[in-house]
């Protein structure tokens, strides 16, 4: 463990890769949170694929592999893809999913044509362009991390400046229009930030897996909170954890590619969140269902006892378990619930099979009946 930490600070490659992955995890996770809320999760997938021809064209035009040049090309192509999706879905009857599928595959196919074309050019210095397909985190250098840092910070700054607007846009875009905000401009701005957050991650995670970096942290964070601010911060943290975790794990195990490892870690975070997040998580939901069931059973048996007793002079008149078994709407024998009632001191056993209400039990039963039938009894 100590070795690991000292490596993290001293080992140049590991430090660079971990830092770069963490930065893009934060950026992609935060922006992805908005995409999740706007039901545009798969837009990230389309944009990251659509960016490929931009990378190839930027290289063809400039002959340079400087990260900024390639990111710019990727960004322009990704943005055009997003714009085309928006045009196709708003102006024709083609649905959103088809538009995404077409842009994703056609742009990617075109990018592939360009990449193979570049490869077959004599003395083209194209080595490394292929790393955009699956990402090559291990090849990150300080310059790349610096670029990711600067661009990522700018994106997050913009996000914070337009926080209120983006929040409104994500939850009620019609309302924000009636307030006089320029909806389309804000939509374009958020999409642009989204595109940038995606393209800075392509070199590390790759075109194919970048969509997971966008969707998964937000989806995990959504389970833990109902507040946008907390959700976005949490998404950024989850993104960072998976980035660093993936970088470290893949450095420890030989022949473990970084991009897929990051994706697996973020998928595990999603799984944990779906299961164990308070309130929304599946485990908590099961516990809550169980408790609610218990309360319902208690109330049902209590009311049954009360109804039976009301046929007699005393509200505490004892009755046999067998009658309650038959009478009750709950599943299973009444005995278990009667024991719970005994623990709560709402009912007491008279002999081995007969039970009666306690004075508190009578009061409680009357309250339950009043709540259920709105008084009258």
Tokens for 142? 């300080």
Site for another protein contains 41 (CB under 8 A): yes
Strands 354-357 and 319-320: antiparallel
Contact 276, 269 (CB under 8 A): no
Question: Are the C-beta atoms of 206 and 132 separated by less than 8 Å?
Answer: yes
Select the span of 12-20, 160-168, 257-265, 345-353 touching another protein (CB under 8 A): 257-265
161 binding another protein? (CB under 8 A):
no
Burial of 349 (0-12, 13-18, 19+ CB in 10 A): middle
Residue 33: how many CB atoms within 10 A of its CB? 29
User: Shortest approach of another protein to residue 176 CB, angstroms?
Assistant: 21
Region from 61-69, 210-218, 344-352, 353-361 binding another protein, contact rule CB under 8 A = 210-218
Instruction: Catalogue the E-assigned strands of the chain.
Output: 319-320, 347-349, 354-357
Closest by CA to 195, choosing from 48, 366, 359, 357, is: 48
Interface with another protein (CB under 8 A), residue from 62, 63, 117, 272: 117
Phi/psi at 319 (nearest 5 deg)?
A: -140, 160
Cα 133 from Cα 208, distance rounded (Å): 6
298 binds another protein (CB under 8 A): no
Q: Are 310 and 301 in contact (CB under 8 A)?
A: no
Dihedral sign of CA atoms 248, 251, 254, 258 in order: positive
Cβ closest to another protein, residue 256 vs residue 363: 256
Roughly what angle, to the nearest 10 degrees, separates helices 228-252 and 210-224?
Answer: 130
Does 241 help bind another protein (rule: CB under 8 A)? Answer: no
Q: Which stretch binds another protein (CB under 8 A): 14-22, 40-48, 227-235, 311-319?
A: 40-48
The dihedral formed by the CA atoms of 241, 166, 154 and 147, expressed in degrees to the nearest 10: 50
Binding segment (CB under 8 A) for another protein, from list 10-18, 192-200, 214-222, 363-371: 214-222
We find the least distance from the C-beta atom of residue 29 to another protein, in angstroms, to be: 13
The token duo for 180 is 């006089």
Asked if 243 is part of the footprint of another protein (rule: CB under 8 A), the reply reads: no
62 binding another protein? (CB under 8 A):
no
116 binds another protein (CB under 8 A): yes
Place of tokens 């278990």: 336
124 contacts another protein (rule: CB under 8 A):
no
Q: Give min distance, CB of 167 to another protein, in A.
A: 19
Q: At what angle do helices 183-199 and 12-37 cross, to 10 degrees?
A: 150
65-104 mask for another protein (x: CB under 8 A)? ----------------------xx--xxxxxxxxxxxx-x
Q: Which is nearer to another protein, 207 or 347 (CB)?
A: 207
Residue 91 or residue 331: which is nearer to another protein going by CB? 91
Q: How many residues in the shown chain lie near another protein by CB under 8 A?
A: 64
Among 270, 309, 330, 347, binds another protein (CB under 8 A): 270
**φ/ψ of residue 356, rounded to 5:** -135, 160
Asked if 50 interacts with another protein (CB under 8 A), we say no
Please report which helix (H) or strand (E) contains residue 292, including its range: helix 282-309
239 counts as binding another protein under rule CB under 8 A: no
Instruction: Enumerate binding residues for another protein (CB under 8 A).
Output: 36, 39-42, 44-45, 49, 87-88, 91-102, 104-117, 120, 130, 133-134, 208-209, 211-212, 214-216, 218-219, 222-223, 255-257, 259-261, 263-264, 267, 270, 274, 280, 282
């Amino acid at each position: 463990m100590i070795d690991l930490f000292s490596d993290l600070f001293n080992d140049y490659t590991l430090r660079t890769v971990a830092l770069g992955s963490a930065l893009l995890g934060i950026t992609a996770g935060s922006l992805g949170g908005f995409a999740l809320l706007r039901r545009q999760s798969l837009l990230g997938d389309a944009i990251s694929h659509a960016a490929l021809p931009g990378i190839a064209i930027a290289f063809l035009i400039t002959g340079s592999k400087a990260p900024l040049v390639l990111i710019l090309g990727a960004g322009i192509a990704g943005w055009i893809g997003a714009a085309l999706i928006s045009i196709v879905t708003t102006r024709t009857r083609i649905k959103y999913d088809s538009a995404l599928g077409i842009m994703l595959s056609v742009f990617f196919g075109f990018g592939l044509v360009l990449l193979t074309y570049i490869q077959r050019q004599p003395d083209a210095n194209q080595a490394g362009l292929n790393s955009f397909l699956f990402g090559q985190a291990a090849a990150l250098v300080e310059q790349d991390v610096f670029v990711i840092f600067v661009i990522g910070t700018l994106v997050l700054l913009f996000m914070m400046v337009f926080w209120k607007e983006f929040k409104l846009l994500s939850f009620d875009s019609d309302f924000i229009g009636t307030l006089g905000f320029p909806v389309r401009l804000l939509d374009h701005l958020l999409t642009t930030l989204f595109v940038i957050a995606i393209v800075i991650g392509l070199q590390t995670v790759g075109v194919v897996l970048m969509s997971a970096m966008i969707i998964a942290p937000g989806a995990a964070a959504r389970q833990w909170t109902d507040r946008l601010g907390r959700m976005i911060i949490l998404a950024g943290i989850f993104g960072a954890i998976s980035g660093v975790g993936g970088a470290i794990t893949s450095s420890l195990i030989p022949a473990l590619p970084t991009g897929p490892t990051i994706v697996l870690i973020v998928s595990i975070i999603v799984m944990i969140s779906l299961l164990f997040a308070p309130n929304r998580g599946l485990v908590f939901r099961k516990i809550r269902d169980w408790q609610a069931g218990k309360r319902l059973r208690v109330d049902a048996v209590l009311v049954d006892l009360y109804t039976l007793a009301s046929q007699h002079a005393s509200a505490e008149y004892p009755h046999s378990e067998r009658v309650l078994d038959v009478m009750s709407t709950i599943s299973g024998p009444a005995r278990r619930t009667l024991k719970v009632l005994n623990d709560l001191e709402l009912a007491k056993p008279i002999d081995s099979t007969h039970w009666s209400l306690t004075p508190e039990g009578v009061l409680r039963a009357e309250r339950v009946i009043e709540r259920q039938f709105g008084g009258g009894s």
